[in-house]
Amino acid sequence: QLQLQESGPGLVKPSETLSLTCTVSGASISGSSYYWGWIRQPPGKGLEWIGSIYSSGSMYYNPSLKSRVTISVDTPKNQFSLKLSSVTAADTAVYYCARQLAGRPLDAIDPWGQGTLVTVSS
Amino acid sequence: QSVLTQPPSASGTPGQRVTISCSGSSSNIGSNTVNWYQQLPGTAPKLLIYSNNQRPSGVPDRFSGSKSGTSASLAISGLQSEDEADYYCAAWDDSLYNYVFGTGTKVTVL
């Protein structure tokens, strides 16, 4: 059974870089027709797609975050990571990692990790 | 501001049918498939409907999806208390080059 688990600091200072890792178990990140991505949800608000990456390195980013986001994949460790630079309080959110189906160019997201709350505060 | 608009809330009594709309445009719903996600309180979202009207394994057939033009709908028939959740539509947007989520609808079982 495919499972995803986010890990990383729960508190980040303003202007610093938020870094999270997603560990995938139950399936290989390499190959198939899936991308691996990140979605976030500010407290009490809706969902925002951040971006997704294929094991080969092909990636798609939310244009509104593109200048600050880096998503990378570590196939030997079966992990992928998110870095978000120059964070502000507006980046406080629950961050989810997930698998995303490839298709024109991206499609359904399934499954999702349990999510991790990242708070931006000094 | 999301480009996919949903009503903020919907409600019904147990056993009733509830429908949630998702309004988009030609660059998203009009040209790509729609997915629906259910988010139970305090949990991660879960894929409920994919490719407009397909249910993943394990999703009850009380849930159904449809699409017409630039709008989509999620119907819950035989509403149950465990259906109380937030529901989000989503689709790829060709103009924004972005996977966009709807504004979300909170379903309450009265």
Write down the pLDDT at residue A104. Answer: 82
Question: Who among A47, A101, A115 is closest to B101 (CB)?
Answer: A47
- Cβ neighbourhood burial of A41 (10 Å; 0-12, 13-18, 19+): buried
Question: Who among B44, B50, B101 is closest to A113 (CB)?
Answer: B44
* Whole-number Å distance between alpha carbons of A52 and A73: 10
Write down the pLDDT at residue A33. Answer: 83
Please give the average per-residue pLDDT across A98-120, as a whole number: 95
Given a cut of 80, whether residue B1 has pLDDT beyond it is no
> 3-state SS of A68-115?
CEEEEEECCCCEEEEEECCCCHHHCEEEEEEEEEECCCEEEEEEECCC
Write down the pLDDT at residue A57. Answer: 86
Please give the average per-residue pLDDT across A63-76, as a whole number: 96
Which residues from chain B sit within 8 angstroms of residue A112, using beta carbons? Answer: 44-46
Please give the average per-residue pLDDT across B14-32, as a whole number: 97
Chain B nearest-CA distance from A46, in A, is 6
Chain A nearest-CA distance from B77, in A, is 23
Q: Are A52 and A60 in contact (CB under 8 A)?
A: yes
* Whole-number Å distance between alpha carbons of A38 and A112: 9
Residue partners of B87: CB distance under 8 A and separation at least 6: B6, B20, B36, B37, B38, B39, B48, B74, B104, B105, B106, B107
In Å, how far from its chain's centre is CA B45? Answer: 11
The answer to whether the CB atoms of B47 and A111 lie below 8 A apart is yes
Q: What is the pLDDT of residues A76-100, one digit of tens each?
A: 999 999 999 999 999 999 999 999 9
Which residues from chain A sit within 8 angstroms of residue B102, using beta carbons? Answer: 46
Write down the pLDDT at residue B90. Answer: 98
Write down the pLDDT at residue B7. Answer: 98
Q: What is the pLDDT of residues A4-53, one digit of tens each?
A: 999 999 999 999 999 999 999 999 998 778 999 999 999 999 999 999 99
What's chain B's average pLDDT? 97
Name the pLDDT band for B2 (thresholds 50, 70, 90). Answer: confident
